[in-house]
Every structure is written in structure tokens, then in C-alpha cells.
Amino acid sequence: MGTREHEIYDVVGIGFGPSNMSLAVALEEHQANVPARPITAAFFERQPAFGWHRNMLLPSTTMQISFLKDLATFRNPMSRFSFVSYLHESGRLAQFVNNQDFFPTRQEFHQYLEWAEASLADKVTYSSEVTAIRLPAEAGPGAPEYVQVEVRSAAGAGTRVVNARNVAISTGLVPRMPDGIPSDERVWHSSEFLEKYNRMDPDQLKSVAVVGAGQSAAEITRFLYDMLPHAQVSAIIPSYGYSVADDTPFANQVFDPSAVDDYYFGTERTREAFWRYHKNTNYSVVDDEVIRDLHRRSYEEEVRNNKRLHFLNLTRVDEVKRAGSDTRVVLHSLLDSEPQELDVDALVFATGYDTMEPTKLLGDLDRYCLRDEAGRHRVERDYRLVTTSDLPVGIYLQGGTEHTHGLSSSLLSNIAVRSGEVADSIISRRTDRELEQEIAETVSETV
């Protein structure tokens, strides 16, 4: 897409994962209803093409939400961007229904997102990383009407600046490695798994280990066990075994759109209760099916008396010693006072992600953004950062709002409704601004 240099866009979206795709859909559907009032939008994505957690598209892994929690259905069940619409267009609707499963594979969901992206491609520029948001250099006295978004092109086109009345930051989760352990060609974070795995000769992987007790850790352990029939596979688990993700109907209510209000308008104790009782719906837990699959493999080994799948429970990594292709992991088990050492050909840290944090992108603008007593950004119900009155520009967060909007902040569960709320807010604030301008002009004409 070609962005125009001097245009002030109504909204510039940073990142083009499912959250901002869903916003693009909401804006497009608004436009279809009110064609005379176009909202101008431009999105920037640092990847060279659309991709949703590509490095974790392992065979047979399934979604952890219903297919109905797609880009649009919960906001607009008639949307042409729904998963059902995609199935219909792909000629698979009947087979999907016959499959009687709410949870498609991640590969199929990725195909759905790619299908939706094809209709939105004119709004997004790829290989374009947003490096900063700042006040316009030429800003005069008074509150600035817009901000400048600095975009660095990986395609060698240098850096350019795009003007925005609103920005929607949706840069996603940030992979977390243990302190002092960098990833390299033998030590990987789960977010780079397939890319690094595919660079290896599988015959050279005779001993591999996976660190972590969450969904990605269990999925990677299962994948390595199945793909490397000659290899020793060790699962280094900080708990005494994998814990199950609670996706039963009552617990699942924490991801309902209405739960956002209960959380947002609740007291500190309300919010704390959400986390205390329902963290196990998503965090450091594993789907029942994957746990049973792994246990079945382990038990079959017991029966055959031939073990190559090892679960090192209550165990943490103390140190990783690297030299060429040699990797030695120093382990500390709560069941053993002596440290153990394990030599591996590849080590995967499925140690999770940090939540999205906009401070770095905001740079100097951050001083206009108000924070709570715990030092976290204050966020309006419509996902706009609370700013001082000298920054009337809307800075919306799609992600990173666990402290204000609850457990679904980094998930897909609520993206359709959230994007609709963000779009509504952008549109109604534009209407208010235009009305104010009209009144001011009328008053000055009268005077």
C-alpha cells in the first residue's frame, strides 16, 4: 500500500496481527454503512507478509478458542469476514460441520486469516517496522492535532513519517527467555521454533530438551518425540507435571465480552479475584488432549521397557553452557540436592511471553500518558491511553491491558468486540471534533 506523505490519517495501526486486522474489518464495515464519511486508515507490519505465530504452526495443534471467536462474528454475525464465510467460500462448510469440532487446527485458522487478509491488503504495508511515535516537528503552540509515526522499511527504503490523528498499537506479546540466556542456533525460544528446527538435520538431533510447563512446551515436546524417533526427548518442567487448562463453560465466561465491564468497573479485589480463580483458563496450562497424548506415549514406553521420553519434574535450568554445537544444561531439581547436567543438541525455551508494553514506542510522548499508583498506564474503557489534555490524539491499545480490561487482553476471544469499540470511539471522537470546529467557525462568523 502507498501511504500519502502529507495526509493526516484518521488512524494508523501498528502491527497487523489478528487484533489490528479485526480493527481494519470493523472500519471497513463502518465505511460500507456510511460511504460518504470515509475513515482513512493505514497499517504497518514489520513481517514481510502476513503471518500468525508461524513458528508454532505444528501439525495437529488446535485453536484454544471456538472458531466463532473470529475477526468479526461477535461484533457482526453477518460479516463477510467470518470464519463461516471463509469455510463457505472454500467449499468446506458441510465437512467442517460434520467434523463436529469447535476448535479448528491452527493451520486452518491461519489459512482463514490469510484469506481475510487478502481483502485488506490495500490497507497494510509490510516489511515496515514502526520505531517511534512523536509530536510533529512543526507543532506550534496549543494541543497538537496529530502525531507522527516513524516507519522503518526493511526493503531498503529508509525511514518515513506518517501523520495520524489516532494510533492503534497492537504489537503483540514479547517472547521471554530466562535472564542471561540468549537464543542462538542451538538454543531457541518457542516463538522461533519451526524456523530454527527446519534449519537442522534431524539425524543430528539425538538429544533435545524443552523447558516449560505451558501449552507450547507440551506441544513442542510431543512434536519432537514424534518427529525424531531416534532421539532422547527431555521435558524440563518447573511443576510436578502439566496442569490442565480449564475451558469448561462457567470458567470460560471470563472471556465473554461482558466480563470486560465486570473487570474494568470492578474494584481492585474484583480484578484480583479474576486472576486468582481463573488464571488456569490460559496461563501455564495445557489442553487436556495434549496432556493425555503425551502421557499415553510415556506409558507405551513403560510397557515396551524402552524409555526415551523423560519428564524432569520440579526442575529448573540454572545455566546453559555453549561451545560450538555442544550445549550443556545445568539443572536444579527440587527432588535432588545435587545439580544435574544434561547434554543436548537443541534446547527449546517455551518460557512464555511478556505482555505488550507501549512505553518504548511512545518515547517522549509517554510523559503525556497518565499512570496508576502501581506505575501502569491508565486506560479508558474504550482502550485509549489516558493522556493529559495537551495531547488530544487517541492512542489505543489492542493488547497490554490485562491490568484494566482483564484476562482476554492478549487473546483472540474478544478481538471482534474490542475492535468494534475502538472503531466506534475513533468515529465518535471525529464527529465531536468536527462539531466543535463547526461551532467555533459559526461563532467567529457571528462575531
Ligand X SMILES: Cc1cc2nc3c(=O)[nH]c(=O)nc-3n(C[C@H](O)[C@H](O)[C@H](O)COP(=O)(O)OP(=O)(O)OC[C@H]3O[C@@H](n4cnc5c(N)ncnc54)[C@H](O)[C@@H]3O)c2cc1C
Q: What is the DSSP string of 401-419?
A: -HHHH-TTTTSSTTHHHHH
Q: How far apart are CB 366 and ligand X at their closest, in Å?
A: 15
The identity of residue 105, as a single letter, is T
Residues 58 and 216 sit within 8 Å (Cβ to Cβ): no
Contact indicator for 421, 79 with CB cutoff of 8 Å:
no
Q: Which is nearer to ligand X, 64 or 166 (CB)?
A: 64
Cell numbers at 174, concatenated:
514479547
Identity of the residue, 14 or 362, whose beta carbon is nearer to ligand X in the bound complex: 14
Q: Which is nearer to ligand X, 79 or 170 (CB)?
A: 170
Are the C-beta atoms of 163 and 150 separated by less than 8 Å?
Answer: no
List, in order, residues 6 or more apart from 419 with CB less than 8 Å away. Answer: 19, 22, 23, 25, 26, 71, 75, 398
Q: Looking up cell 507450547, which residue turns up?
A: 216
In this complex, which beta carbon is closest to ligand X, that of residue 39 or of residue 56? 56
Minimum CB separation from ligand X for residue 313, in Å? Answer: 24
Nearer to ligand X, 399 or 406 (CB): 399
Minimal distance, residue 282 CB to ligand X, in Å: 8
For the CB of residue 26, give the shortest distance to ligand X in the complex, in Å: 14
Q: Which lies closer to ligand X via its Cβ, residue 103 or residue 322?
A: 103
CA–CA dist 361, 377 (Å, integer): 14
Nearer to ligand X, 191 or 387 (CB): 191
Q: Minimal distance in Å, beta carbon 162 to ligand X?
A: 12
Q: Using CB under 6 A as the criterion, which residues of the chain lie in contact with ligand X when the complex forms?
A: 14-20, 44-47, 52-53, 56, 63-65, 129-130, 170-173, 216, 398-399, 410-413
CA-wise closest residue to 419 among 103, 63, 75? 75
* Continuous H helices in 9-133: 18-33, 83-90, 93-99, 106-118
What's the min distance (Å) between Cβ of 174 and ligand X?
Answer: 9
Minimum distance, C-beta of residue 123 to ligand X, in the bound complex (Å)? 14
In angstroms, what is the minimal distance from the CB of 345 to ligand X? 23
Closest distance to ligand X from the beta carbon of 344 (Å): 22
Distance between CA atoms of 237 and 242, rounded to whole angstroms? 8
Task: Output 64 or 82, the one with its CB closest to ligand X.
Answer: 64
Is the CB of 44 or the CB of 112 nearer to ligand X?
Answer: 44
User: Residue holding cell 463502518?
Assistant: 30
Q: Which residues contact 189 (CB under 8 A, 6 or more apart)?
A: 175, 176, 177, 183, 348, 349, 350, 351
- Which grid coordinates belong to 149? 509515526
Q: Please report where in the chains the cell 521397557 appears, as a residue.
A: 305
What are residue 187's DSSP bridge partners? 347
